[in-house]
Amino acid sequence: MAQTIAPATPPMEGSRLVLYDISWEMYEKLLEVFAEHPTPRITYYQGTLELMTPLPEHERYSWTLGRLVIVLSEELGLEILGLKSTTWRSKPKAAGKEADECFYIQNEALMRGKLKIDLKVDPPPDLVIEIDVTNLSIDKMAIYEALKMPEVWRFNQGKLTVNILTDAGYMQSETSLAFGLFPIKELVRFIQPDSEKGENARLQEFRKWVRSQLTT
């Protein structure tokens, strides 16, 4: 008998549900069910499925870091295509995940104007942002590796790490593939909330700082 999944009341913010031995077909069905409703974040890897509603802390860091990436690309004269929390998936790898933020930068010109993206023929995003503010139930980096995401920035406990995909897996790096020798890790000082300044004021401060780096 075919299984039917009805949309339920979304869980409270910050809650998590982990299910095991879930088929790929069930995962895709859940994506369809939640597509038109306020949705939890759905992560899938080799039979394990996690549904999680993000904390405000998570969303704030994600929003801020994403805006910093946009400003940095503007100041460096780079075109950028942002796809926010798009769900990326691969049936052969039994892996699927929503990025917190993701961007095409090196491949922006190739992807410009495309509204439908298929990882079987299109390149994955050049940069993915992952915000970790809760305990991990699934190895997110294993999923990104399966999806062949070339660069992942992780923000965790006030620290920003740049992870570059190699033949041996992800390796931490001092520099970014997308932004060259620019000191990416120093962005962390602009990520934390400031009770004295609003977000736009902080972005203006960041923009001035980027320009100072480019003239030294």
Q: Residue 38: what pLDDT?
A: 56
The pLDDT of 162-166, averaged and rounded, is 97
Distance CA 134, CA 156 (A): 9
The pLDDT of 32-37, averaged and rounded, is 74
Mean pLDDT for all residues in the chain: 88
Alpha-carbon torsion (199, 69, 117, 151), positive or negative: negative
Distance CA 39, CA 48 (A): 18
Per-residue model confidence as pLDDT tens digits over 114-159: 989 999 999 999 999 999 877 667 899 999 999 999 999 999 988 9
Q: Residue 5: what pLDDT?
A: 39
Structure-token match 């993000």, residue found:
54
Domain 55-210 grouped into CATH 1.10.760: no
Which of 111, 92, 113, 90 shows the shortest CA–CA distance to 102?
Answer: 111
Is residue 182 within 8 A of residue 162, CB to CB? The reply is no
How many other CB atoms are found less than 10 A from the CB of residue 212?
A: 9
Distance CA 87, CA 100 (A): 10
- Res. 204: pLDDT tops 50: yes
**What one-character DSSP code corresponds to residue 59?**
H
Q: Residue 201: what pLDDT?
A: 93
- Res. 112: pLDDT tops 60: yes
Give the model's confidence band at 1: pLDDT under 50 very low, under 70 low, under 90 confident, else very high.
Answer: very low
Q: Give 5 or 149, the one with higher predicted confidence.
A: 149
Q: Residue 55: what pLDDT?
A: 83
Sheet holding 48-52, edge to edge: 16-19, 48-52, 41-45, 95-98, 87-90
Residue boundaries of the structural domains of the chain: 55-210
Per-residue model confidence as pLDDT tens digits over 44-100: 999 999 988 888 888 899 999 999 999 999 999 999 999 988 899 999 999 999 999
- Res. 165: pLDDT tops 60: yes
The pLDDT of 22-33, averaged and rounded, is 89
Q: Which helix (H) or strand (E) holds 25?
A: helix 24-34
Q: Residue 133: what pLDDT?
A: 77
